Structure 1
Amino acid sequence: MTKTRVLTGITTTGTPHLGNYVGAIRPAIEASQDTSVEAFYFLADFHALIKAQDPKLVEQSRREIAATWLALGLDTDNATFYRQSDIPEIPELSWLLSCVCAKGLMNRAHAYKAAVHDNEENGSPDPDRGVTMGLYGYPVLMAADILMFNANKVPVGRDQIQHIEMARDMAGRFNHLYKEQYFTLPEAVVDERVEVLNGLDGRKMSKSYNNTIPLFVPEKKLLKLIRKIKTNSLEPGEPKSTEGCTLFQIYSAFASTDQTEAMRTRYAEGIGWGEVKNELFELLNGQLSAPRERYQALLEDPGHIEAVLQQGAEKAREETTRTLERLRSAVGLGRFV
């Protein structure tokens, strides 16, 4: 049976939070345990350098994210788990793709257009002020990540669909120029069931809004953050709506169907906000306490994390070295024999 190849990258620019877990980590780990799927998960640390020039932040984030995925049960026997920076064939492929990618395609990339728009709005005489080649060429590196492993499906948010389309464009162009099917055309997978969690202030949970609840924060800090979640002024005994309620949204993302329906009934009966927050804390802490312990143990044993990532890189490079040798020959850079 031919397995479906699924590839996911995790940018190493921060500490994983509840929103990351619900939206990306949990479904990816479930997929890693599916024997019908050939999964590739990587720490996108080259991509991190586009936004983060603090080496301590990047290094800490790489370690924390790797420890998070391992603590939550990533099956590294079934899935390939590696650091992007440990695969030298990826930046080499990025250059090959750059040489077939039209500049006009890059000009239409959302991130670049947004940067230009901001400069124009701020009255800058230079529309490209602050735009690095890393930001501009980001879609090419992302295409290399995907096409190197000929991934069939790439789970993404709606804001990333364009990048998958650009990868398809580059793959098709390369195949056409060199007259062979070197690359599979990847498909973007947007799971409409994946919920985007709100943060402490009711907006989307995001590091940029500083409204996140870190996934493995200590118990006391977890309770403190939950108590900060914004609510309305309804008193205990007054019926409350679950619609648009951050507390209920987070609760339902971690609770069973029966627990969710029971909480919905309690809202209608007028449960107090303090009680909801306590219930949410108990639910989250109950599910996260064991992984939290594993996470802390992993952080204290960076050698183990390194060994797992090196094993993943070795597994990945068994394929990438063969693929790159074939591509080098295709463009005329093969060995003299």
Structure 2
Amino acid sequence: MEIMLTGIRSTGTPHLGNILSVIIPSVSMSNKNTKHSSFIFIADLHSMVQIENIKTIKAIKDNTYKIAATWLAFGLNIDNCLFYRQSDVSSVTELAWYFNCFYPYQRLALAHAFKNENKKIDKGKISVGLFTYPILMAADILLYNAKIIPVGKDQLQHIEIARRIANFFNKKIGQKLFILPNAFLHKKNMFVPGTDGKKMSKSQKNYINIFSSDEILKKQIMSIRTDNKSVEEKKNPETDYIMHLYSLIAPMDKIEIMKKKYIKGGYGYYEAKIALYEYIIHKFSSERKKFIYFMKNKSLLDHILVLGSRKAKSIADERLNCIRKHLNFNSII
């Protein structure tokens, strides 16, 4: 049985882009597809690469609850998958160290994500963790021999790095210890625009948080960038960010109605934003209520994550013992 594995960093409440591109497709695959086993984790260790002070460290725990509540609010069935906290499985960091020692520095230095962050962050604030981020991600995947990895387009190179590490390790050891993972892209939601038209991102502060209060959610949607065409003018639905977001969540009949209004004219961007806001409230009303429930019952979230982490740790430790054997280390006691 093939293993599907995916995770989200605990850097805050998942925004609409995370939900459409990763959470909904992954929950659907996990709950309906019997051809694979699902591993879904909260990447709290990955979140540490952005630590600035003690407050940031404390925020990771609360953000972990927000991530867990989101997965569960969207219907993740914990009986059908392993749902766990990354930091509860220490085997992953040990495996990451082995990969650090085997993988060439120069190849890692070419990683696009690091190069992009390198341009934005003061050189004195760049951590080693940020540089070796793809190595830890590879350990997350290869520790469980995961085959199917739902990711966004920006993570494709990281999956390729994981494949290279697996190949490199297999050749060094002389046998197929690791299978090669494959990225899974949900094509419809490959790109979810933020309020400025760029990819939706918490770091860019252009996101839409469907779990915000009605007032804040409306304010976020009202900030979506548009051109300066008047209400009376015809508008192009193919280039408009409001229309793009609406088309990702609404049914086809509603999408066609809005497109016709754009093309005909006499329909303003304010009205389109209100339509988007009201549909988000309608579409995600159940998930919003469930999110609030789980955030008010954090002991329940702890219980669920502990159960999943114990199962994940058992599998991970067994795998790591096998890897240790090939490296001539003793088994984990």
TM > 0.5 fold call: yes
In 1, distance between residues paired with 2:264 and 2:324? 68
**8 Å Cα contact 1:13/1:52 also seen in 2:** no
1:225 aligned partner, one-letter code: Q
CA 1:161–1:274 in structure 2 vs 1: closer, same or farther (change >3 Å)?
closer
Superposed CA deviations along residues 36-88 of structure 1, whole A, max 9, x for unmatched, are 23221111111110013412321221111111111111121112111110101
2:3 is aligned to 5
Q: Which moved more, 1:174-183 or 1:327-336?
A: 327-336
**8 Å Cα contact 2:2/2:148 also seen in 1:** yes
Offset, 1:115: 5.3
Offset, 1:322: 1.1
Alignment of 1:41 with 2:50, yes or no, is no
1:15 is aligned to 13
Offset, 1:286: 0.6
Offset, 1:147: 0.3
1:15 aligned partner, one-letter code: T
Offset, 1:117: 5.7
CA 1:116–1:12 in structure 2 vs 1: closer, same or farther (change >3 Å)?
closer
1:52 aligned partner, one-letter code: I
1:334 is aligned to 330
Number of equivalenced pairs: 327
Alignment of 1:167 with 2:162, yes or no, is yes
CA 1:211–1:118 in structure 2 vs 1: closer, same or farther (change >3 Å)?
closer
Alignment of 1:274 with 2:287, yes or no, is no
**8 Å Cα contact 2:21/2:186 also seen in 1:** no
1:74 aligned partner, one-letter code: L
CA 1:4–1:184 in structure 2 vs 1: closer, same or farther (change >3 Å)?
same
**8 Å Cα contact 1:328/1:334 also seen in 2:** yes
Offset, 1:177: 2.1
SS class of match (1:40): strand
Offset, 1:251: 1.0
In 2, distance between residues paired with 1:335 and 1:310? 24
1:45 aligned partner, one-letter code: D
SS class of match (2:132): helix
CA 1:32–1:172 in structure 2 vs 1: closer, same or farther (change >3 Å)?
same
1:299 corresponds, among 295, 300, 324, to 295
RMSD between superposed Cα atoms in Å: 2.1
Identity %: 36
SS class of match (1:170): helix
1:199 is aligned to 194
SS class of match (1:151): coil
2:89 aligned partner, one-letter code: I
SS class of match (1:223): helix
CA 1:335–1:207 in structure 2 vs 1: closer, same or farther (change >3 Å)?
closer
In 1, distance between residues paired with 2:192 and 2:62? 24
CA 1:106–1:215 in structure 2 vs 1: closer, same or farther (change >3 Å)?
same
Offset, 1:264: 1.0
Any unmatched runs of 5+ in structure 2? none
Offset, 1:98: 2.1
Offset, 1:129: 4.1
In 2, distance between residues paired with 1:179 and 1:197? 42
Q: TM-score scaled to structure 2, two decimals?
A: 0.91
CA 1:324–1:256 in structure 2 vs 1: closer, same or farther (change >3 Å)?
same
Any unmatched runs of 5+ in structure 1? 123-127
1:169 aligned partner, one-letter code: R
Structure 1 segment 176-325 matched on structure 2, within 5 A: 176-270=171-265, 271-325=267-321
1:87 corresponds, among 85, 89, 99, to 89
1:125 is aligned to none
1:86 aligned partner, one-letter code: D
2:43 aligned partner, one-letter code: A
2:129 corresponds, among 125, 134, 150, to 134
SS class of match (1:43): strand
1:71 corresponds, among 73, 78, 85, to 73
In 2, distance between residues paired with 1:219 and 1:117? 36
**8 Å Cα contact 1:52/1:58 also seen in 2:** no
**8 Å Cα contact 1:12/1:61 also seen in 2:** yes
2:146 is aligned to 151
